[in-house]
């Protein structure tokens, strides 16, 4: 007789709070709604069309449609997790003495004296074209907690180090 030993393993997923502006929260909510309604409907229609084309065992279009549906469901799951961990930050109650999420910063690269301005946001709101960088990016993380006048030494993923002077913080 073979005995099976079942071990109860509790997996704990670290719930990481995501700090969002009111607009970021609304955008996240709208994207989830769009993907769960229109996105799922389109994925289902694509699978139905591919299924109608015959033998599923050799139907690359069907396989592609199922893969796309899987990616859609993974994206929805990720966004719903973020939504569940979202904290809306009231910008009127923020302090601009140190860099925090939703701070706007003006920094100077000490190696070339170029000045840049960025808005520190959560990962879900990051958009470099709009000069919004994530608080978890190397530069964003390196600036967190710093005050105006501080020097931040930041190690980039390639190992290079940059030094930035924090010129100004605003909300």
- pLDDT tens digit string along 82-104? 889 888 887 777 777 899 888 99
Q: At what angle do helices 22-34 and 60-84 cross, to 10 degrees?
A: 150
pLDDT of residue 157: 87
Global confidence as pTM: 0.65
CATH number for 109: 3.10.50.30
- Last residue of one domain, picked from the residues 57, 88, 119: 88
3 part of a folded domain: no
Per-residue model confidence as pLDDT tens digits over 37-92: 999 999 999 888 888 877 666 778 888 888 999 999 999 999 999 889 888 887 77
Same domain, 106 and 140: yes
Per-residue model confidence as pLDDT tens digits over 112-150: 999 999 999 888 888 899 999 998 899 999 999 999 999
Domain extent, residue 61, equals: 18-88
Q: How many residues does the chain have?
A: 171
């Amino acid at each position: 007789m073979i005995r099976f030993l079942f071990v109860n393993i509790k997996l704990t997923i670290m719930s990481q709070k995501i700090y969002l502006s009111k607009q970021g929260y609304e955008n996240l909510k709208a994207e989830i709604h769009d993907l769960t309604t229109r996105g799922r409907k389109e994925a289902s229609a694509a699978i139905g069309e591919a299924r109608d084309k015959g033998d599923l065992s050799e139907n690359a279009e069907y396989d592609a449609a199922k893969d796309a549906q899987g990616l859609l469901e993974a994206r929805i799951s990720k966004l719903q997790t973020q939504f569940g961990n979202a904290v809306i930050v009231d910008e009127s109650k923020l302090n601009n003495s140190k860099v925090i999420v939703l701070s706007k910063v003006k920094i100077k690269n000490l190696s070339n004296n170029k000045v840049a301005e960025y808005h520190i946001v959560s990962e879900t709101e990051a958009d470099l074209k709009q000069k919004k960088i994530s608080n978890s990016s190397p530069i964003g993380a390196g600036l967190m907690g710093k005050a105006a006048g501080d020097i931040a030494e930041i190690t980039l993923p390639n190992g290079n180090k940059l030094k930035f002077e924090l010129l100004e913080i605003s909300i």
